[in-house]
Amino acid sequence: MTFVPDPPDDSRQASGASIGADGSFTCYSTSGGMGIPAGRYKVVLSFASGKGNVNPYIVAFAKYTQLNETPLVLDVPPAGLKAAVIELEEPDAEPDMEATTES
């Protein structure tokens, strides 16, 4: 997951987060510190895929993977956040976990 300053600002860098199996996430700045600076961010998701495979979540949640399309935003106040919830809309269809190999 990447947090991109919104609106774009050359004085602020994108930050990231690692996501746990339970959906929890821990934020980090690109300078290596924990947490992200105060401000408004667009949230962009990314999904791992192996060689020759397409992660079905990339297709199911495609609108969250493009900076210009994601509706997700996070506002971090100057005092910071201890917890935040980022909710996704359910996809129209469940991801097909069986058909993950491209030809």
Q: Is residue 46 part of a domain?
A: yes
What is the domain extent for residue 31?
Answer: 2-76
Q: What is the pTM of this model?
A: 0.76
Joined together, the tokens standing for residue 70 give 């994601």
Q: Is residue 30 part of a domain?
A: yes
Half-sphere exposure for 53 (CA within 13 Å, toward CB): 13
- In this model, does residue 88 exceed pLDDT 60? yes
Q: Is residue 93 part of a domain?
A: no
pLDDT confidence of residue 101: 43
Q: Which residues pair with 101 in a beta bridge?
A: 53
Number of neighbours of residue 73 by Cβ within 10 angstroms: 12
Q: Is residue 64 part of a domain?
A: yes
- In this model, does residue 73 exceed pLDDT 90? yes
Domain count, the chain: 1
Residue 57: band (very low, low, confident or very high) from pLDDT cuts 50, 70, 90: confident
pLDDT confidence of residue 12: 84
- In this model, does residue 99 exceed pLDDT 50? no
